[in-house]
Amino acid sequence: MSFELPPLPYELDALAPHISKETLEFHYGKHHQTYVTNLNNLVEGTDDASKSLEEIILSSDGGLFNNAAQVWNHTFYWNSLSPSGGGAPTGEIADKIGSAFGSYEDFVTEFSQAAITQFGSGWAWLIEDGSGLSILKTANADLPMKHSAKAILTIDVWEHAYYVDYRNARPKYVESVIENLINWDFANSNLA
């Protein structure tokens, strides 16, 4: 099986001004593509070549895990964003956020803090772990499925996700993503 860079669910300039076309050209077109290329090179001619992405993630470590997980993480991240996203959630996700965090505002505070305080490169996740929604921070390529949890939404806090647009102002990037880009329709679909 050969892995391919999945198409973005929107045009390269669709998230501007919150995430620029230039950022997506590098982040999606270079970083994400490199993970796909590396993954294909690592599995070629091995037993892993016939496995699904998820099977590779759950059965590997080191460089193979890192590249497979980053292919999955980035694909999930692009879908966690929408040009018409942001604002308060609606539907089932709104009810579950209310139950888990008390209010949407409390969720925003906790999710933002997780993203801002993740030391170094990593991710902030809204997850479902069997007991309701919660927040998870992961470093590097780590992801919820390695912790028996289901990803609902994510924010990428590797520097390449925001440095072109926000320089070192990670908090401003996180605020902008939550207020303007979070894809609540995607979150609702992940609860199904």
Residues 87-145 pLDDT 10s: 999 999 999 999 999 999 999 999 999 999 999 999 999 999 999 999 999 999 999 99
Domain 21-80 has what CATH class? Answer: mainly alpha
3-state percent helix, strand, coil for the chain, nearest multiple of 5 = 55, 10, 30
Angle at which helices 62-80 and 33-43 cross, to 10° = 140
Superfamily for domain range 92-191: Iron/manganese superoxide dismutase, C-terminal domain (3.55.40.20)
Closest CA to 27 of 85, 87, 82, 73: 73
Residue written as token pair 């796909």: 36
| Domain residue extents for the chain | 21-80, 92-191
Q: What pLDDT, on the 0 to 100 scale, is given for residue 154? A: 99
Residues 54-92 pLDDT 10s: 999 999 999 999 999 999 999 999 999 999 999 999 999
User: How many residues are there in the chain?
Assistant: 192
pTM score over 0.95: yes
21-80 and 92-191 agree in CATH topology: no
Angle at which helices 184-191 and 62-80 cross, to 10° = 120
pLDDT confidence band for 190 (50 / 70 / 90)? very high
Q: What pLDDT, on the 0 to 100 scale, is given for residue 48? A: 97
Q: What pLDDT, on the 0 to 100 scale, is given for residue 192? A: 86
Residue 66 CA to residue 190 CA, distance in Å, equals: 23
